[in-house]
Amino acid sequence: MRRLPSSVVRQRRAFAILTAGFTFFIMSPVVRAEAAKVNKAAKPETVSYAAQPGDTIYEVADHYLSDPHDWRVLARLNHVDAPRRLKPGTLLKLPVALLKRDPLMVRVLAASGDAERISKTVPSLPLAEGASLGEGDAISTGSDGFVTIELEDGTHLTLTPRSTLALGTLRRTVLTGRTERDFSLVRGEVESEVEHLTKPDDRFEIHAPSIVAGVRGTHFRVNFDPLATTVEVLDGKVAVGNAETRARATKVKLDEQAPAPESELVPAGYGSVTRGGAVGAPVALLPAPMLAHPAKIQDGPQVEFDLQPVAGATRYRLDIARDAGTLDLIRETRTETPHASFADLADGTYFVRVSAIDGAGLQGVPRVYAFERRRNGVDASAGRAAGARSYEFRWLASRPGVDTHFRFVLSRNEDLGDPLVDAVDISGHRFVVTGLPAGVYYWTVIAEQFENGRFYETAAGVRSFTLAY
């Protein structure tokens, strides 16, 4: 027997480990057959189809049933004695349980950092915007990876760093249009913005090892780690059920008399924590923090934010995105203080999403701010100049190619009040002050620039020196 290449073996083994313990609810023909046996006495749910000119029972079965060999079931149900002759307009009853379920694809809307597709059939590949994924694929992000995928109805799912999401059932039933979309969160966090489901039996579920979250149209987050699973609802409602109970109920669901598994209904503005398999009661989420200086131009070496503290918060989370909807995320951080900084962020317009985290680990309601990153540092120095009691001040703005004027302020006061010198519209990079008496002085220089229709000011820190003659 031909041996598989070692790389393929490793890939398949990794996928098997990744998906171990998860049920994706892709119903096999054997399971469907068992379902048919259990429900044999029950009247099957059907959908009507009007025969078209040239239709035969064989063609109808081939086009609309998952198994074309079920044409016999179709003929028997509709009392068709001549399978090759169907009168146009004849209404046929097609069992819903036998209908073909076409696969659905998802598209990568945005990807940043370390993010890859894991598949059973091909080696792992880095994910890029526009890539297509389907049933059986998985998405994994590294320490700086973000991925947002988009479903055919505009639903979005976003993975943050150190997360893995397996794509389970992605199907649309022909004729009825019913959709089934199941995802399994293996580790980390997924945020979902689900478009409203249009049919009563449409399904959208996020599975984690300890819970199942089912929705009909909402905005919510699921975060899993070995100690706890959290669900936070920002819009709509989410039914959170125990995964083990749900799995048992799924096996029994072949019997239509089986009761639905119990679940906790979590409304908007609330969250739930599951520990040890026990789904927690809904808890109010913390309100969104506010930035202390929302209009600040981020012109320093690092991008820095100060938050107004939120009562009950033990940590804060900040995410940076390229878009206001925070679908194209590029950075995140969590901090125990209401201050956070980000390094190495290029110039541009960005959006920061801020939220507070409570003692149970529930992330609160977010707030999004736009901000401008426009780095422009001012390096300044001072020293004695030639001449009696002369002092020379020098500076340089770090942003090249922009017409820059400077303002120089010198004072005896640390707050620069009652300045001795307040010189404006300086085009050069030096200023000399003479005749200074002995004492302590404070000074700064401010770079003033007008670019793209906006006026910008960048100040060097207040500096001091002492003259003792």
**Is the pTM value of this prediction over 0.75?**
yes
The CATH number of the domain covering residues in 43-99? 3.10.350.10
Topology of the domain comprising 290-373: Immunoglobulin-like (2.60.40)
Residue 156 to residues 195, 219, 285, 328, 398, Cα–Cα distance (Å): 8, 9, 22, 11, 40
Q: What is the pLDDT of residue 42?
A: 55
d(CA 154, CA 467): 68
Pick the CATH number of 378-467 from 2.60.40.10, 3.40.605.10, 3.30.1450.10, 3.30.450.40: 2.60.40.10
pLDDT of residue 467: 87
Lowest mean pLDDT among 8-17, 218-227, 231-240, 250-259: 250-259
Domain 102-284 has CATH 3.40.50.1100: no
pLDDT for 353-389, tens place per residue? 999 999 999 999 999 999 999 988 899 999 888 766 7
In which band, very low, low, confident or very high, does the pLDDT at 258 lie, cut at 50, 70 and 90? very low
Pairing of strands 229-235, 270-275: antiparallel
| Tens-place pLDDT, residues 50-66 | 999 999 999 999 999 99
Identical fold for domains 290-373 and 378-467, yes or no, is yes
**Nearest to 335, CA basis, from 352, 353, 351, 356:** 356
Higher pLDDT, 442 or 469: 442
Q: Indicate whether 268 pLDDT > 60.
A: yes
User: Rounded distance, CA 282 to CA 291, Å?
Assistant: 28
Q: Tell me, what DSSP letter sits at residue 195? A: P
Q: Kindly state the average pLDDT of the residues 311-330.
A: 98
How many degrees, rounded to 5, is the angle at CA 22 between CA 21 and CA 26? 140
Per-chain mean pLDDT for the chain:
88
Percent of the chain clearing pLDDT 90 (strictly above)? 72
pLDDT at 122: 81
Domain ranges of the chain: 43-99, 102-284, 290-373, 378-467
Per-residue pLDDT tens over the stretch 78-125: 999 888 889 999 999 999 999 999 999 999 999 999 999 998 888 899
Asked whether residue 276 carries a pLDDT value surpassing 80, the answer given is yes
